[in-house]
Each structure stands twice: as C-alpha cells, then as structure tokens.
C-alpha cells in the first residue's frame, strides 16, 4: 500500500464516492492547506483509481455559485472513465446528496494544447475545438458540509465531479452562434411523467461566455503543467440554476440548434 499522503487522500475521497458515503473533512494529516495542495490531491485520482481522464469540468462559473461554496473563482475537475455517459443514460442517485442536474455546453478538442508561458487566447482555444455538445452534469461531493469545506478541499474532491451525460455533436453551424445569448430550455419530469420543473438559461451564466470559460480552463491547466489533450472534452459549467432532481425523474435539456440531451434516474 502506497503511504504517500496525496495518494491516501485521493483514495479516501474516491472510496467515499464509490460507497455513497461522506466525511466531515479529510484527516488533518491529509488535508490540503491551499489550492496547490488541493490540485495535487486531485491529480492523483487517475493513478489511484486506474481510470483515464476523459474530460474536464469547471465548477462555480457564476458569482452565485462561487458565493454558495465560498470560493474565490472557478474550479477545475477531472471527468474520469466510467463516469461519462451517452445521451439517455440511466443513472442512480443512491448516495448522491446534491441531487441536481446541470445543463451545460461541452467542447471536444481536436488537437492538444500543451502548457506554455503565454496564456492562450479565446480564438486560439476555439481553433483547437473539434465539436460542441449539449451535456448534463450530475455533480456530488464527498463532504457532509461541502458548502463550508473550503477551496483546497473542494479541489481535492475533484471540484464535485461525479457523473456526466454527453450529447451528440452539434451541427457545424454552432460556430456562427453567439453562445452568450444562446438559450437552453430544461425540464424535469417525475416518475409519473408529470412536469415537476421547467427552467431556461443561456451562455451568459458561464463566466459571461462559455468560450471565455473554456479558455480559462485551458490556461488554468497550463499553470499546473497539464495539457488539454486531443479527444478530451471540457464542460464549461451550468447555464442556469441547478435543477433539483429525485429518483425516478427524467431530465431533458433542449439547446435548439445545438441539439438535445437527456437522462433518467433509477426509481
């Protein structure tokens, strides 16, 4: 057994996620004290779980989201193999305490953007994007009180990443759209098919523009010496207030020209 504290912290958090259990906080000897420490724990997740990184998420891309969990800005997290699903996926909410779904814009990269001293511009980042997809994130945290866990621990907790449903690629005409004002309509239906919740949002909720959020993620990874790899995708954060969900619910997000994406939760 590897006794490296970073590995132990990553393994502990992952096991709680697998078991659907929570902890009050990481043990003091394993608890990161700053953002760098939180990133260092998260970076061990692929090795301790044996799961490849299929994509990246951005948490807290709105002022309200940042205030809710007490962080100074957006947070980057990894989407791991086995936690990324196709449109129409059937997921379980067992052990999930957040119980929300979040409609998002996801960008798949056609070429790798390695770390460099000069930050990438939005145009440079968009030129590396191969496709845009509608998506639904189902986040969760391994902490009992994630709202007050603090930025370092939330980063160690993979920025509350859990499951993600990735829709089909949008038609190439998406490149001509102003994503800041592109509307997404979402619905939650109960197990009986009755409408429980309906909400609208747009790209302005995502750091003002999903493309700006995407460039932020690429450059944030660069500061950590991490490349955004060809084939990976980045989901840029919810474009509306999170949708409350329960077992048996169906969630549908309609992004117009960009397509639709949906999921179901087991009763």
Tell me the pLDDT of the chain averaged across its residues. 96
Q: Is 1's pLDDT higher than 60?
A: no
Q: What domains can be seen in the chain, in order of their start residue?
A: 5-265 (3.90.850.10)
Task: Using DSSP bridges, classify how beta strands 163-166 and 84-86 pair: parallel, antiparallel or unpaired.
Answer: parallel
What pLDDT digit, counting tens, does each position of 197-241 carry? 999 999 999 999 999 999 999 999 999 999 999 999 999 999 999
Greater confidence (134 vs 61) lies with 134
Task: Let me know: does 10 contact 44? Beta carbons within 8 Å.
Answer: yes
CA-to-CA dists, residue 106 to 96, 167, 193, 226, 241, angstroms? 23, 9, 28, 19, 17
Q: How much is the pLDDT for 2?
A: 61
Task: Let me know: does 183 contact 256? Beta carbons within 8 Å.
Answer: yes
Q: Is 13's pLDDT higher than 90?
A: yes
């Amino acid at each position: 057994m590897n006794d490296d504290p970073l590995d132990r912290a990553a393994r502990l958090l992952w096991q709680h996620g697998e078991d659907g259990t929570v902890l009050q906080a990481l043990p003091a000897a394993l608890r990161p004290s700053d953002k760098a420490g939180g990133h260092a724990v998260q970076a061990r997740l692929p090795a301790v779980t044996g799961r490849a990184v299929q994509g990246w998420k951005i948490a807290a891309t709105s002022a309200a989201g940042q205030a809710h969990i007490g962080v100074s800005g957006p947070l980057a997290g990894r989407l791991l193999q086995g936690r990324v699903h196709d449109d129409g996926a059937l997921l379980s909410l067992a052990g999930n305490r957040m119980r929300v779904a979040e409609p998002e814009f996801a960008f798949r990269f056609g070429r790798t953007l390695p770390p460099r001293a000069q930050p990438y511009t939005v145009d440079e980042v968009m030129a590396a994007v191969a496709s845009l997809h509608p998506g639904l994130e189902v986040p969760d945290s391994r902490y009992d009180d994630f709202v007050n866990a603090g930025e370092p621990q939330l980063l160690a907790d993979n920025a509350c990443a859990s499951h993600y449903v990735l829709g089909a690629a949008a038609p190439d005409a998406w490149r001509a759209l102003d994503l800041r004002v592109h509307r997404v309509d979402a619905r939650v239906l109960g197990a009986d098919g009755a409408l429980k919740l309906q909400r609208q949002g747009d790209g302005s909720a995502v750091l003002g523009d999903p493309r700006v959020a995407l460039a932020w993620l690429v450059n944030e990874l660069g500061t950590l010496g991490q490349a955004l790899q060809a084939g990976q995708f980045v989901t840029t954060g919810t474009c509306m207030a999170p949708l409350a969900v329960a077992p048996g619910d169906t969630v549908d997000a309609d992004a117009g020209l960009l397509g639709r994406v949906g999921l179901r939760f087991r009763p």
